Structure 1
């Protein structure tokens, strides 16, 4: 007689009750997990980990929570339940967050909103050794801020509060589709349209948060070799960009923050990939004491009024049937200005060219 595998005893930590409900449903319907405790913030997570201790096999830990966030709670959870595998869940992908979670003791970093089968596959494949990071709880005295929160903080908080019910709805739609199997053509079309609409709102929220954070991020200008950054940016966009893009021009250096310059080029190349189907050229040249970077595509052009091109959420007719948020050019323009440069765009007739000009450091 074959023994039934024991279900993995799980602590589920998230400040959104509806999202905990959905994740618990996915886990327990799989037959491989049993949610033995839930928590709504870092303090509750630590208390639950202490209460269940060695009995825990898995901890699903949200990063962004009130009172105490996931990163602060993680080492204490790890200490209280050293045999459990800790999986961090994040609503937004931020540079450095995954590495910070790993250093704090996380075994796996996942973005929220994964389809149920993808989430289960990721959890089932988690077979890592606990790092056993020790920590000592501390007392924190909280006082009101001396000034109102910055705009990027407000946008981030709003996006978090909106994205939680959004992800819950997206997960519910996926779960219903999975359970119902094949649908009648008209119902299939309705479900597909609902999924597409939810995905577009999700992408827009993510882009808005990134736009706000980039606008407030500190910059450290230094001498940067342009070609190296262009190659990195193309690789960051992905294989579609690498297969279609050529970089040419002489070796030039600019005075810029390297990460900020890479973000500018990533946004411009990503736009070119999305809105054109032909080759893409990145051309480095001199421009009156500055270094110019041309991003040339062979698509339909912009198709929007020149005054609106760099406005947030501007999307020309050619881009309305393609994925995107309309924030790429606005973000690139804002960061370029902060670096002391300028950005311009032109329709060539056989495509579009966006030009970034930055102070030369040669």
Structure 2
């Protein structure tokens, strides 16, 4: 939250948005448009305090933010600054959100993706008393910034290189492995598959005794390639995908209704998560096309491009892991590595946030360095997104298993609601009422990768509030003094 002394003969603006790079771009453009930005905030609660402190003429208010969203903050801002003009910015559900925002006290509504020229014109129209309604996105220009006039702890797995099936055992869809020749005896079955078929299944048992319909479908199917077909279990349709491994057949089971729902939710939430960084990148690109930008502004925008590109890389990385798990192609390249070095690298990739690091265990661990960076990136990013500072990362010995090294990521927020904790690591799961939507994949990916490396992830409430996520991984195969 920042503020500055300003002149009194220009429109004074407060920007409330949780994307720091977008706030910077808006500030840059509004100043070039003849306005003065008197303060910024990254969530609704901080925005209320900033408005209380500065009493601006204009408030640009994002709707989807952590701590307190824009709709909740709006009436408080209206009460603190009754003469101010409040313009709501949002990246989704334009008509519905516009109606709710206007009913709550907004003077205007603009979608993210609207050109800056339209944003500035809307501000001026509102100040001049001309009625303003929701403005459609200008898809030809996008955002143009050109100037205008817990899970229970379990014993760790042995330190071995995991196979694809290690990760598939954790998948939220059913996976059954049977021998490739009749009578297709059971080799393994994960918990999701047991829940779907709702039947006892023992290793070595013929598939037809577990589920005759699926067994019959396999017999009647050419076993020369991957095949998809539908079956009926307990009067409910189910999608079955048959794939081949070297010595067995893999059956992927998913209830069709659930699958369609997950796909729709995944598309909607992922699109929402991606749209913000893409809007910022488009804005920066158009701004950099200007010939009269000072080098200091160019440098700051290039840093913004790097941050937003890394954010997109994290989202697509989680999607890729989820796809690799489903296809059985997830690969882990475990090595002996220093976890402190990886922690520092992840923190350096998040320059807008401050994290405190404490190291009480100097042992190296056995892990895939890129996967570890992905896991820690998700945990630290979540701590900053959903929690409150300070965020602490502790590398310490496990109190339960001598062969494990623990990495705690702790924030000081409100913690995870107790009723949601059993669903915390499930694919596409999100706590109800969470202002920051997210893809619902991050923690699931962390759990999948941790288990695939012989480790585990757990959650516990903080001693003084907040959340503590603990990533536990096996110590290195060789002692530090042997390297």
| Highest RCO, 1 vs 2 (Cα 8 Å, sep ≥ 6) | 2
How would you bin the TM-score normalised by the shorter chain?
0.3 to 0.5
Normalised by the size of structure 1, how large is the TM-score? 0.45
Normalised by the size of structure 2, how large is the TM-score? 0.35
Higher helix share: 1
